[in-house]
A and B are shown apart, each in its own frame.
Chain A
Amino acid sequence: MTWRFGLTEATFEPLWLTHWVLAATLALPILFGLLGALFSPRRTLPVALVCVPILLTGVLLLMEYQQAGLLRWQWQVAGVTVSLRLGGVSILMLLVTQWVGAAAALYTPGHLRLTNPGKQARWLWPLMGVLISALSLIWLAADLLTLYAALELMGLAAVGMLLLSGKPAALQAGMRYLLLALVGSLAYLLGVALILGYWGQLNLQALAEVVEPGPVAWIAAALIGAGLALKAALFPLHGWLTPVHESAWTPVSALHAALVVKASLFILLMLWNILLPSSLFAPRFVAWLGMLAIVWGGLVAWRSDSLKTLVASSTVAQLGYLMVAFPLIIGPDIPPLPKALAWEGFWLQLIGHALAKAAMFMAAGNLILATGESSLKGLAGTSRRLPLSLLIFGLASVTLMGLPPSSGFTAKWLLLQAMVMTQQWVAVVALLMGTLLTAAYVFRVFRYSFDETAPRHHYQPLAPSMDLVALALALAAFALGLLAHLPLALLQGGGV
């Protein structure tokens, strides 16, 4: 199974141009972020210009990958070996990161112009740059230490961005998040230390060859798993997630829910795949938690009165779908066909959710900004006054509900098919329940918004870029349903 993560020998050496593209991929976001702090752009156009070269590096890497297949890099830096690889999953997630990051960046100027948050807003740009670079590094890293460094960098940048809004509630939630993230890192580091002490390997590929099942692997996997689950807000360690989003700025929430939690989940899946190649219990345990997450997240979102809590709790439930797929991907005795289906469904669900959740946070942010109210009741009458924002919210929620023809539906279909083939009926029921629960909380929003009897009050006009960016994300999540073979074809090429 490690070949699926691109942890195999490469056929070709990277060209010299590819080295530079790689360097640009990792460095440009930070560089432009610093520029952002200097100039503090208030218009969309300069931001768009800056996004172009970053997106270009991703496209170049994609072309390189399609020509040469898997690519590997290895350097000795101060006695430590840093190794990177560009496999199918890496390039796919790199592209998603860059495009969602660009969307969040394009959304930001309009948001800052309308909310006018003061001087500290300029620091959003470098933090955003660091976040994108760190995420890119996570998708590429192929040794435990680089992964750790990138994870830590990402976590700190995320905390910094969440603290920026400066409200007391944000400070409190942010500090709690920081504390928990540090605990998570510590657990992860302990696991890594255990691995290093026992097998003397940090390189993932080498590690996969020497690891053998036993108490050491189990304890290391448990430590790493607990730490990463805390960072990824996997049920039942998700308590910090909702308060954090409650007071964060919209683009920050979008980035966080779309990408940051996914990165920890990705590392978790990859490392367990190496450490627990044929464990029966651990992935099952995660799957059971995932089912609970689907139900619990859905119920919390259903009962919530605040729009942001609703959107944030839905992340908990949506992560549950991914957790439910764990036994299919890393469990033993799964025939190749359902395994391949589950693998494709997992990534499609992850990408679809990233795009749709970013769009949904933006749409929710727009609604809150325009109406000036953050409760569901405040939405009364918006279907007449803010139809576009509501339409975007609707498109995004079709993906989250997993109804056709969205990417959420195709992903759910793939997962369901794998589950039916392996007779996991409880998981099937959980997935279907999830659809209904999601519909229940999403349509609460629409019920309020279609209310025509509400009193009219003044609405703040929105910048067009804010709606357009969100619409593009929602449409992308939608279109990937019927065009699912485009991203999934990349996953196939990794094992040449």
Chain B
Amino acid sequence: MNAAWLPLATLATSILAAVVIFLLPEESRRLRTGINLAAAVSKIILVALMVGRVSQGYQDTFSFQIVGGIDFVLRADALGVMFAGLSSLLWLCTTIYAIGYLEGAANRKRFFGFFSLCVASTLGIALAGNLFTFLIFYEMLTLSTYPLVVHAGTAKALAAGRVYLRYTLTGGVVLLLGTVMLYSLTGDHSFASERGLAPYLNDHRGLLTLIFVLLVGGLAVKAAMVPLHGWLPRAMVAPAPVSALLHAVAVVKAGAFGIMRIIYDLYGIELSVELGVTTALAIAASITIIYGSLRAIAQHELKPRLAFSTISQVSYVVLGVSLFGPFGTIGALVHLLHQGLMKVTLFFCAGNYAEELGIHRIDEMDGAGKRMPLTSIAFTVGALGMIGLPPVAGFITKWYLGIGAIQADMYWVVVVLVASSTLNALYFLPIVHRLWFRQGPAHGFGEWPKEQRLGRLETHGWLLWPAVFTAMVSIGAGLLAGLPFSPLDWATRVAIGEYLP
């Protein structure tokens, strides 16, 4: 039985929310909040339904023909549902956070309208059943993020928006070219097809490699792989919820997720290894990991440091994908989820410090743990997870990636992993040290740059609880990794599906 309505309804929830928000007047704050939360919650319910259906072995598909030979396909498969689950869970947290963050700010209607469109695009990317549909939502994501990047309307924000477009639109054009060439060669090719592109290998080896380079090159822009990463640190000028969800999760993950789709569901992992493209990708990912970490150490402001850390961390996903073997795959898949949870926590906390205390630079953070204990605990959890310490979720990723590298006989990858963990510790531990062990304004030395008392607790409740929640989920995902429906369990299910068809 095919429940075609299910993927469609999931996608429609946030598109409808966007339309309704655009229709409402700017002043109707309560109604907009209600719609936002209702849409986010119903989306989680729908995604949970999809998870249930997929675990029972169904692949609900919605499709119709656009023109001859080209279909629009939404399909709920295990990999897609995983990404959809991540984005819908974090959407709820970020919506709550954004409502608190933008309290009293201007242009909230525009913000939430485009925010919903972004999430709709992310969901479309997750559920796209072929490359054409993927491309549609991938470009939609670019367009709907632009108004959020330039939201502040300052000269700096507008300049960042211009850089952002320059990178992402060019990447989109390259991706379009690759997609058109692939369709011209093979016709419509569903992600669900079992055969991969192997039948074309003998006659079109060079062309297949070229198309792979175009596709992955286009996607690598959004995945912020070096040297195509320049837009991400600049885009940090956007409001904190945008940095948290989009630049830590949705946009960069859309690129990484796309690379996964290309390798696992389009080319097939055997063919990718045969073409030799995975080794090249592993090297590119390793360079990005090291380079991102080195640049992160050099940053003096909190958000840019987190941004460079994102650049480095997202490439773990790509690295895992390019290791041939089930453990590398599990590591990549599970990192897609874990990194999202931990990074969103870190960005929430960075936003809290900026809103409550006016802290933007790292050397202003001395002793903030005493003033904002819960936020600082959440930040510490996220930071330790990024370094890869148990029991936070990040440990599992690095463990599986390491085993995967050894199984694939790529020992240099282990060196990269160790080096990168050391670098992570080098740029995160000083912050943690400042938070808890330095004396600062909370101990009576100097004062905070711009302190506001936003709530009864250490800050506004709408800002605090999402950060605490995601921090707890990050620990939970690590501690309870053995339970069914945990990220690790689901990633294992996907990986088994890939390697044992």
CA distance in complex: A450, B388 (Å): 41
Q: Is the CB of A439 within 8 A of B177?
A: no
Interface centre among A383, A403, A432 (most CB of B within 10 A): A403
Q: How far is the CB of B186 from chain A (nearest CB, A)?
A: 12
The A180-206 residues at the B interface (CB cut-off 8 A) are none
Instruction: Compute how far the CA of A410 lies from the CA of B419 in the bound complex, rounded to whole angstroms.
Output: 46
Q: Check A485 against B170 for contact (C-beta < 8 Å).
A: no
Q: In the complex, what residue of chain A is closest to B151 when comparing beta carbons? A: A450
Q: For A432, what are the chain B residues with a Cβ–Cβ distance below 8 Å?
A: 173, 176-177
Residue B150, interface by CB 8 Å: yes
Residues of B within 8 A of A436 (CB): 169-170, 173
A414-B177 Cα distance, complex, nearest whole Å? 12
Asked if A484 and B66 sit within 8 Å, CB to CB, the answer is yes
Point out the residue from A416, A483, A484, A488 that lies within 8 Å of B176, measured CB to CB: A416
The answer to the question of A428 belonging to the interface, with a C-beta cut-off of 8 Å to chain B, is: yes
**Chain B nearest Cβ from A445, distance in angstroms:** 12
Q: B22 and A446: CB pair below 8 A?
A: no
Min Cβ gap A339→B in Å is 13
Chain B residues with CB below 8 A from A450, complex form: 147, 150, 153, 157-158, 161
B172 and A403: CB pair below 8 A? yes
Q: What A residues does B146 contact at CB under 8 A?
A: 443, 446
| Bound complex: CA A452 to CA B72 (Å) | 39
How far in angstroms is the closest Cβ of chain A from B111? Answer: 11
Q: Find chain A residues with CB under 8 A from B22 CB.
A: 391
CB neighbours of A420 from chain B (8 A): 180-181, 184
- Which residue, of A344, A384, A439, has the highest number of chain B Cβ atoms within 10 A? A439
Taking CB atoms, residues of chain B closer than 8 Å to A485 are 65-68
The main secondary structure of chain B at its interface with chain A is helix
Which applies to chain A's interface (DSSP): helix, strand, loop or mixed? helix
A453: Cβ under 8 A from any B Cβ: yes
- Count of chain B residues with Cβ under 8 Å from any Cβ of A? 41
A64 to B72, CA, bound (A): 31
Q: A391-B22, A482-B72 are in contact. Are A417 and B183 (CB under 8 A)?
A: yes
Neighbour of B140 across the interface among A387, A404, A451, A453, CB < 8 A: A404
Q: Please state if B158 and A451 are interface contacts (CB–CB under 8 Å).
A: yes
| A421 close to B184 (CB less than 8 A) | yes
B70 within 8 A of A: yes
CB of A405 within 8 Å of the partner chain: yes
A19 → B minimal CB distance (Å):
34
Q: Is A398 an interface residue (CB 8 A)?
A: yes
A381 to chain B, nearest CB (A): 8
Name the contact of B169 in the complex, choosing from A417, A435, A447, A451 (C-beta under 8 A): A435
Q: With both chains docked as a complex, state the minimum distance between the C-beta of A321 and any C-beta of chain B, in angstroms.
A: 14
Q: Can you name 20 extra interface pairs (CB under 8 A) apart from A410-B67, A452-B152?
A: A383-B107, A383-B147, A383-B153, A398-B143, A403-B143, A404-B137, A405-B140, A413-B176, A416-B176, A416-B180, A417-B183, A420-B180, A420-B181, A432-B173, A435-B176, A443-B162, A446-B146, A450-B161, A481-B66, A482-B66
Q: Which residues of B contact A (CB under 8 A)?
A: 22, 65-68, 70, 72, 106-107, 109-110, 132, 135-137, 139-140, 142-143, 146-147, 150, 152-155, 157-158, 161-162, 165, 169-170, 172-173, 176-177, 180-181, 183-184
